[in-house]
Structure 1
Amino acid sequence: MLEFVKILGVKINPLTMEETLVEVEKYLSKEKPLHLMGVNADKINLCISNPKIKKIVNESEIINADGASVVLASKYLGYSIPERVAGIDLMQELLLLSESKNYSVYFLGAKEEIVLKMLERFKTTYPNLKVAGHRNGYFSDDEIDIIQEEIRVLKPNIVFVGITSPKKEYLIDHFLNNGLTSVFMGVGGSFDVLSGSIKRAPLWMQKANLEWLYRVMKEPKRLFKRYFVGNVEFINHVLKEKREKNGK
């Protein structure tokens, strides 16, 4: 079992990007199922209010810190998480790995036109990528088992799930509990970015840990509550844990 720290009751493996790739390939090489999880402040807030999601997160085999606020909180609480492992960056590294090692990939999520646009771009960026299949993210609960059986038949090595939380966590957990053996990674809105439909923050903002601010500026109505209200909530939880820790 990998080493982990706990922040507000949520497990996080203190891994770098390179270390994460090494661990993921262990599952790929043995064709073992994996829930590759990324947590940020919003996900930790969700875990605090939703025991079912917390259970799914804490039972995931690899859990990365996908948020600068999580890395900063870990240091404030006396833990050591080496770096943020951004989900979209990890996804792109896994695409490169898949291309070089001939691992097959499947994409589930986003609108049909977004997925198709992304796959068209991948013909240039990842020309030798083995795409097992894809399915847009607009489906009813009655169709979940149909999608599940399609994945079972296609047997992709990696399934990228571009759906929002908590739906993607429930969905991946359902797939794994029903015997699918792929590496599953929830990637949120990464399909939109990789298709070119949404522009990613400039590199200087990424390096300055301000990518969240750029996203809020681009989608204020959808993201203001998550990042501003949610971050205040997260900070309050961290301050409380610090007080409790010092009181022991």
Structure 2
Amino acid sequence: MKKTLLILCLIIYLFPNNIKGQNEGAAIAAVAGGLVAIGAGIAAVEQMKEQAELTATEWFLTNHPEYSRFSLKTLAFDGKKLKDMSSTSVITFTIREFDIKDNEPELGKKMVLFGFTSFGWINEYGIDFEKVEWFLIDSDEWMNMMIEYSKVASGEENTELIKKTLESGKVVNRGIKAKKGDDIDFYKIGGDMYLVTEYSPEMKFIYNERSLGIYLNETMNLIQIGRGDLINIHEFFFDE
């Protein structure tokens, strides 16, 4: 945002002196309008982020009353622009249970809450949460998901080897980088090529070079978790 302001100020400053005043005024008005639009876009994303976080918290409180101390924050909204939000097919939230010891929070169990979205989930009024389906996982479920995803993405079938590599290594753009032993490389396929595996009665996993695809059998929606978000989720569970 600071860079944008600086560039726009420079444009105004360097505006040719021989341009008529009325044209200069029109140009400055256009620049000002652009600034307003940028500010409105940032504010809209922030408002949607707060709205989504509040609704996710309400869902968690309603469906999991056993948790009385927890933190919840959005992950997938970070760095998103307003024009990108309507095409986003999943909102991701990290949840952390905690206790209070000696007046300080002691962090405990980690969870991730997915909000799987359907077409039209963002409209002129904000977010339509009737078009969001919630799915909560813990680290064990995420590990199972990543093992199955890694199998279809790499062709490696040794479950224990994949699990050990996931636990000690790092998920990177091209596969799993092992701390010890061999890396597990993902297939290099085109962006319009897909490898599919059945994960559960509710969903299929789909691999291509850009994302982890989750196909929801009931709604027939294809959810795409970008590789960057996938890495962030794995690091949340196993690196923090």
TM-score by shorter chain over 0.5? no
The TM-score, its normalising length taken from structure 2, stands at: 0.30
Question: If you compute each CA radius of gyration, which structure gives the higher value, 1 or 2?
Answer: 2
User: Which of 1 and 2 has higher RCO (CA within 8 Å, sep 6+)?
Assistant: 1
Q: Give the structure with the larger helix fraction.
A: 1
The TM-score, its normalising length taken from structure 1, stands at: 0.30
Q: Give the structure with the larger strand fraction.
A: 2
